Amino acid sequence: HVWRSQIVRQSFIDYFKNQQKHQFVPSSSVIPKKGEGTYFTNAGMNQFRPLFLGAVPPGSVMADYKRVVNSQKCIRVGGKHNDLDDVGHDLSHHTFFEMLGNWSFGDYFKKEACNMAYKLLTEVYRLPPHRLYFTYFSGEKSLNLLPDEECRTIWLELGIPNNQILPFGMKDNFWDMGETGPCGPCTEIHYDHIGKGGGASLVNTGSAEVVEIWNLVFMQYNRESEQCLRKLTNQHVDTGMGLERMCAVLHGTKSNYRTDLFTPLFDTIHKISKVPVYGDKVGKDDTTGFDTAYRILADHTRMITATIADGLLPDRVGLGSKVRHVMHRAIQQSIDVFHCDKTLLLALVDQVSNSLGETYPEIAKNNQKIKDVISLTEDNYKRNIEKGTKAFNKMMNREGDINKLTGNMMYELHDGRYGYHVPIDLILDLAAERNLQVDEVEFESILQSKKDGSGHTPDLAADKQTLNADVLEKLRCDGITTDDSYKYRYTSKD
């Protein structure tokens, strides 16, 4: 049969429920609860953190969880696992994605977990074993962690040839939730889309040919700091499989974007914008830039939809600022690349609702609200571009015939003396349109010098979350991002 995403997701859940006696637990919100951290839910395990740490509140339903299966809405924007800069530029990373997972809380451990995973992949999804690569943890001396030979042996005993089992270090085979929290060595399963042999050298290289599909983490520690791991009282299993990647595998394509989770969105973009149909080209091969823009727009719409459905609104501070930032990026693609008005984004929200609304009812239920928020944000965004352009033109009139924007001019535009706090991204765009050089280095040093001096210029480069409401009010940065866009532009360089 055709492996539509709905079937891929359901097969995973049914397999663990029916064949492996797991209990289904619904996805938690993408917004962490109080005390659960300041970033979005980035993995299926987040809601189970108290179980790993032995800190389940009395009376909680969690107390009975032994074997659990779920499909979790995840977002990787900000925090330890931040994929925003990659999204659109490859075929396998999204800001919003679904993670299918199974858990053992002090119940089964490595051997059973690997056996269960292998059986699902080869018997239910019917993947050919020669296309699969298995990695295991190679140890870390500074933390007194030994190589996970036990894991290697388990894969060998399942009949996997030696050359398909590969050791990797901390970066790839030791999973941490964040700077602190539950963690442990893992074994990951990678799929070779080519299947002609030689895939081993492509594992964990970022290649589109050999892609990580499933991570099986053996939770044994709590990370208390960079160099301090404390052993947990019990051993647990925590796994995460990327639904979009598994769908791509089962659709016989390297690209997550060639699956039914994205094609209806692309059809909509094509129909409304009339740009050429999506071609799945990446990087230099995407000569028109349209394919990258298709991916960013569709991806971001899913992220925006999921966050607003869970009750978040675009904001200038906290997690809401991430939503706002992603919204502005989406609106920018829609206007600048696809030359569309808001009908495009609103139509895309309907498509996301069609594809995810049944699995995550809050997405269907909040459809109108999501569209209202996007609609207002897009109106605001346009108005602010107008204001910013006006301020910019005012300066140009005063300066006369120039070919360079000095750091000081940038600062003046940015600090509002031409009637509007022009966001840095917009300044750069407007300067580029007029072929003006810009002195970003000088601008940066002026910003730095004003930072703590008189006190009337807030630190625009600082993390938004540390700025309080009063400072922001003084900034009167109304509408589009000022400090957000600034921050992202510069942190991505660091």
Residues that bind Mg ion (CB under 5 A): 212, 215
Measured distance CA(398)–CA(40) in Å, rounded: 45
102 near ligand ATP, judged by CB under 6 A: no
**Least separation in angstroms between CB 370 and ligand ATP:** 21
Which is nearer to ligand ATP, 206 or 289 (by Cβ)?
Answer: 206
Of 237-245, 279-287, 367-375, 385-393, the segment contacting ligand ATP by CB under 6 A is 237-245
300 near ligand ATP, judged by CB under 6 A: no
Reading phi first (left if > 0) and then psi (alpha if -120 to 50, else beta), residue 5 is in alpha
List 148, 212, 415, 483, residue binding ligand ATP (CB under 6 A): 212
Measured distance CA(181)–CA(225) in Å, rounded: 9
Residue position matching structure tokens 């990659």 = 86
List 245, 295, 325, 421, residue binding ligand ATP (CB under 6 A): 245
Of 113-121, 235-243, 329-337, 485-493, the segment contacting ligand ATP by CB under 6 A is 235-243
Which is nearer to ligand ATP, 178 or 320 (by Cβ)?
Answer: 178
Interface of this chain with ligand ATP, residues 323 to 382, rule: CB under 6 A: none
Spatial neighbors of 469 by CB under 8 A, at least 6 apart, are 317
**Least separation in angstroms between CB 244 and ligand ATP:** 5
83 near ligand ATP, judged by CB under 6 A: yes
Residue 245 binding: pick among ligand ATP, Mg ion, none (C-beta 5-8 Å cut-off by kind) = ligand ATP
List 22, 67, 93, 414, residue binding ligand ATP (CB under 6 A): 93
Residue 110: both structure tokens together: 């490595």
Compute and round to an integer the Cα radius of gyration of the chain: 24
Spatial neighbors of 171 by CB under 8 A, at least 6 apart, are none
Q: State the virtual CA torsion across 271, 273, 274, 277 in degrees, nearest 10.
A: -70
List 22, 76, 251, 254, residue binding ligand ATP (CB under 6 A): 76
- Name the residue type at position 104: S
**Least separation in angstroms between CB 247 and ligand ATP:** 11
**Least separation in angstroms between CB 108 and Mg ion:** 21
Q: Total residues at the site for ligand ATP (CB under 6 A)?
A: 17
Of all residues in this chain, which one has the CB nearest to Mg ion in the complex?
A: 215
Measured distance CA(38)–CA(432) in Å, rounded: 36
Beta-carbon count within 10 A of 189 CB: 21
Q: State the virtual CA torsion across 320, 326, 327, 332 in degrees, nearest 10.
A: 150
Measured distance CA(87)–CA(81) in Å, rounded: 13
List 72, 215, 482, 485, residue binding ligand ATP (CB under 6 A): 215
Let me know: does 159 contact 91? Beta carbons within 8 Å.
no
Q: Which residue from 340, 377, 334 is spatially nearest to 478, judged by alpha carbons? A: 377
Measured distance CA(131)–CA(280) in Å, rounded: 23
**Least separation in angstroms between CB 403 and ligand ATP:** 42
Of 92-100, 152-160, 429-437, 486-494, the segment contacting ligand ATP by CB under 6 A is 92-100
Beta-carbon count within 10 A of 117 CB: 20
Which is nearer to Mg ion, 203 or 346 (by Cβ)?
Answer: 203
List 84, 114, 213, 480, residue binding ligand ATP (CB under 6 A): 213
**Least separation in angstroms between CB 168 and Mg ion:** 9
**Least separation in angstroms between CB 93 and ligand ATP:** 4
Measured distance CA(294)–CA(119) in Å, rounded: 36
Interacting residue ranges for ligand ATP, rule: CB under 6 A: 43, 76, 81, 83, 93-94, 97, 99, 212-215, 240-242, 244-245
